[in-house]
Amino acid sequence: LSPQNDIVKIKYFTANVSGKYDQDKPRRQLTYLNALKNYIPEIDIIKGYFQTHEVEMPTANNPRKKVKVLKTEEKCTDVSLAVHLVNDGWKNLYECAVVLSNDGDLLEALKIVHDELKLCVGLVTPGKARISKSLLKYATFQKRIRTNLLRNSQLPNPIPNSNIYKPVDW
C-alpha cells in the first residue's frame, strides 16, 4: 500500500485449529490471535470452523484402488470473506479492498464488487504463489509480497504493552 492509503479495518478470516495431533496447536493459535488483537487495533477476527470426515480417495500408484482417509476442510471462512467484501462495499465502508487470498470461491464476490459496485479490489499473494487468472480478471491491482518483506514484517516480540511473547515453535 502507498503512504496515502489509510487502513480503516483489517478483517482476518480463520478457524480454530484442532489439537488432535498436536495438543499445543490451539494455544499457539490463540497466542497469535491475541497478539494480532493487541498490536493491531483495526483488526476484526472472523471465525469459521474445520470439518473432518472420512472420504474414499484413489491411491497414487493405482487410481482404481481406493482407501479411506480423513479429509479436513476449513468451512465458512471463504464464504464469510466474500459476504463481508460485498456487504462492506455496498455500505461504502471502503474505497478499495485488499484481499490476501487466491481462493477461486471468491470469484463471484470480486466480480460483484468490480462490475456492480465499481469499487477497487486488490489481490495480494505471498511469495511466488501462482495467482488465479479468473480472480485477476476482476482485480484492480495485484501485488506479490516478497519473501524478504514478509520476513521483515513479523510482529514484534514481545507485543508492546502486553505480556504476549512469540512461542518458540512458531
CATH domain 10-151 topology: Rossmann fold (3.40.50)
Model confidence over 69-119: pLDDT tens digits? 999 989 999 999 999 999 999 999 999 999 999 999 999 999 999 999 999
Residue 158 C-alpha cell reads as 514481545
Total-model pTM: 0.87
Q: Distance between CA 64 and CA 59 in Å, rounded?
A: 8
Per the omega criterion (within 30 degrees of 0), is the bond before 158 cis? yes
- Average pLDDT by stretches of 10, the chain with 170 residues: 85 94 93 96 96 94 95 92 98 96 94 98 87 93 90 92 86
* Domains of the chain, residue spans: 10-151
Mean pLDDT of the chain: 93
User: How confident is the model at residue 160, as a pLDDT?
Assistant: 94
